[in-house]
Homo-oligomer: A and B are copies of this chain.
């Protein structure tokens, strides 16, 4: 994984990927949103090696996606809870889950999203906050803090995707 090299990029997508870290982190986050908190709970759910899980959890605490809390003093035991930063990432994960359901569930859906209060099925889509419209005609442009390299790049790639 070369994602560590993304941290010096100005692109907010690259910086976001850098912060999210390893793919495992997303599945750990998924489980944390389900309510799992303890090392052994994550390990049982993910079937992940002890050393890998230790590294992933440390990484996510360092990057501000999880908070480590002492829940037992003797012996010292920690649990991991999602931070506001991670909570703000959850909709991205739900949109990714919906994409997975649309394309990679040939046998039918194994997982569905529902409204916690009403039980009604939910279907996540990405829209513009103001207009509520799907993002179909999007142009990415240099922002006020863009450096020269990024501006040159956008000038070169002045097209609509």
**1/0 contact trace for A39-66 toward B, CB 8 Å?**
0000001001000100000000000000
Say whether A144 contacts B108, CB under 8 Å: yes
Q: How many copies make up the complex?
A: 2
Q: Would you list which residues of chain A between 1 and 28 have a CB under 8 Å from chain B?
A: 1-3, 6, 10-17, 19, 22-24, 26-27
**A92 and B96 within 8 A (CB):** yes
Our pick among B1, B33, B117, B127 for the contact of A23 (Cβ within 8 Å) is B1
Q: Which residue in B12, B90, B99, B100 is a CB contact (below 8 Å) of A109?
A: B12
Q: A100-139: contact bitstring with B at CB < 8 Å (1 yes, 0 no)?
A: 1111110111111111110100111111111010110111
CB distance from A113 to the nearest CB of B (A): 6
User: In the complex, A54 Cα to B120 Cα: how many Å?
Assistant: 45
CB within 8 A of A115: which of B11, B104, B139? B139
In the assembly, what is the distance between CA of A143 and CA of B139, in Å?
A: 36
Nearest-CB distance from A147 to chain B (Å)?
A: 7
Q: How many residues of A contact B (CB 8 A)?
A: 89
Q: In the complex, which of the residues B3, B134, B145, B150 contacts A105, with contact meaning CB atoms closer than 8 Å? A: B145
Cβ of A146 to closest chain B Cβ, rounded Å: 4
Besides the known contacts A13-B100, A113-B135, A124-B127, 17 further A-B residue pairs in the complex with CB atoms under 8 A apart: A2-B23, A12-B111, A15-B105, A35-B159, A35-B161, A88-B102, A94-B126, A94-B135, A94-B138, A108-B143, A110-B150, A111-B143, A112-B143, A114-B140, A116-B138, A117-B137, A123-B129
